[in-house]
Chain A
Amino acid sequence: MIALADVHKAFGSKQVLRGLTLQVAKGESCVIIGGSGTGKSVCLKCILGLVTPDRGTITVDGRSVTEGDRDAFLSRFGMLFQGGALFDSMSVWQNVAFRLMRGAQKRPKAQAREIAVEKLRRVGLTPDVADLYPSELSGGMQKRVGLARAIAAEPEIIFFDEPTTGLDPIMAGVINDLIREIVTEMGATAVTITHDMSSVRAIADKVAMLHAGKIRWHGPVGEIDTAEDPYLRQFVTGSADGPIEAVR
């Protein structure tokens, strides 16, 4: 289980997280929604240790994320970044197999490539893509390669940072379905951050809405259309009128 308790984080004078408390159960797919700049990405980065919180505790299976062997801790995670974050200087298969060619999970090159090609196939990409470079791929293909990299080492926990941003609705649907399938198939715990309500409905078991650095509402995905919280209602309906200010 991932548990965040009273997490605060500020960048200079800008307070981003103001007492964030959230729990994600093992095997659950939690989607965090919220407006731009509400601290969704910072929340994921705090869990991974990329950003250190000013206050509060973050634990994974009861152990603080700041304790113990960092490599072993990070090897439990996979992450799909918003822009893909693929390494430009490496071919697609080398990107996917990055973790499999270094460190504790290192294996022979041929085997790593074989796994990479299999993961690429899993996300709907043909083996001939393996030897291309990221700059030769479309945005949707880059997202899928990023997804293949995130699942290459079969992590227990996968983070998806705005997986459908910048994609056309059909490609967004493909990515949403892939994420749902992979999470179910692998039995992984997933945390996704998104603005896209179609992604929320496709991916989530549980939804948490972040507003002003705190969880404003959380509950099962089936309740987002009937919940009476005015902030959630405004976000779900995409209305300019409501308690969330349009100009932030």
Chain B
Amino acid sequence: MSPVLVPLAILGRSTLSLLASIGSVAIYTGRAVSHVLRPPFYPRELLWQLLHIGWLSLPVVGLTALFTGGALALQIYAGGSRFNAEAVVPQIVAIGIVRELGPVLGGLMVAGRVAAAIAAEIGTMKVTEQIDALVTLSTNPLKYLTVPRILAATLSLPVLVAVGDAIGIFGGYLVSTTRLGFNEAAYLQNTADFLEAWDVTSGLIKGAVFGFLVALMGCYHGMNSGRGAQGVGRATTNAVVSASILILASNYLLTELFFTA
């Protein structure tokens, strides 16, 4: 091949590889979603995953929200003081947490914890022939492994976001009332008066979408894991990175859809 064409060949191969990956994820997503409503169902698996994905993620989401709410209050106070707008701290903390930081940071923390765990677990199952064993035992791995994880993440992320919202606002309240001299009752009143139902609901919808993406990426990369420890390690990294990027990209798209359309 002519040296002039080498960069073009590399670009072409990369483009084809990217398109193949997108196609593969799309087909996997379609198959997974189509199995959600078709029996057999595995309620015990779903409950187990709700416990693992939802309940056990509460501490990490709660702590993230608490510190973020506190830091946000300090930043808004410092920034607001430049144009005598310190009083808006309760409102901006509340809207910032419920619309953006609660769902996005909650989603990213869950991506780090859950997508990695799912990819590592399913990847190891693949490498040790447990996925093949499931098939020989007349059990569809997509139904048994993927569907409960996707459902559990999609259902539990909005709950985690709601809890994170409350804790994040509480973090802002704690810092504002103890460090910045805000009155406790006035802070809570301002927060409650300013927030609208759609502010909270939009964040919860974002949470559901992020949960779906986190579990989907964990399952997809686990199922397509390469051989050996290196293959599983790469699948785990890819799951976290792709879930995080998809969360940030979909967050922008959803924000455009919800607040500018």
B183 beta carbon closer than 8 Å to chain A: no
Q: Which of B57-65, B135-143, B150-158 lines the interface with chain A? A: B135-143
A45 beta carbon closer than 8 Å to chain B: yes
Contact of A48 among B124, B125, B130, B136 (CB under 8 A): B136
Contact of A81 among B40, B124, B129, B139 (CB under 8 A): B129
A50 beta carbon closer than 8 Å to chain B: yes
Contact of A50 among B125, B128, B135, B138 (CB under 8 A): B135
Known: A102-B40, A103-B40. A85 touches B132 (CB 8 A): yes
When the two chains form their complex, are residues B138 and A81 in contact, meaning their CB atoms are under 8 A apart?
A: no
Number of A positions contacting B (CB below 8 A): 24
When the two chains form their complex, are residues A85 and B135 in contact, meaning their CB atoms are under 8 A apart?
A: no
Q: Which of A27-73 contact B (CB under 8 A)?
A: 45, 48-50, 70-71
A48-B129 Cα distance, complex, nearest whole Å? 14
Contact of B133 among A49, A71, A87, A103 (CB under 8 A): A87
A94-B97 Cα distance, complex, nearest whole Å? 45
When the two chains form their complex, are residues A74 and B132 in contact, meaning their CB atoms are under 8 A apart?
A: no
A sample of 25 inter-chain contacts (CB < 8 A) reads: A45-B132, A70-B138, A71-B138, A74-B135, A74-B136, A74-B137, A74-B138, A77-B136, A78-B136, A81-B129, A81-B132, A82-B129, A83-B128, A85-B128, A85-B129, A85-B130, A85-B133, A86-B130, A87-B125, A87-B133, A88-B130, A98-B137, A99-B138, A103-B138, A104-B138
Interface range for B: 10 to 19
Q: Which residues of B contact A82 (CB under 8 A)?
A: 129
B67 to chain A, nearest CB (A): 33
A48-B135, A49-B135 known; 17 new pairs, CB 8 Å cut-off, are: A45-B132, A48-B136, A50-B132, A71-B138, A74-B135, A75-B138, A79-B136, A81-B129, A81-B133, A83-B129, A85-B129, A85-B133, A86-B133, A87-B125, A87-B130, A88-B124, A102-B137
A31 to chain B, nearest CB (A): 19
Q: Which residue of chain B lies nearest to A100 when distances are taken between CB atoms in the complex?
A: B137
Q: Chain B 106-138 against A: per-residue CB contact (8 Å), 1 yes, 0 no?
A: 000000000000000000110011101101111
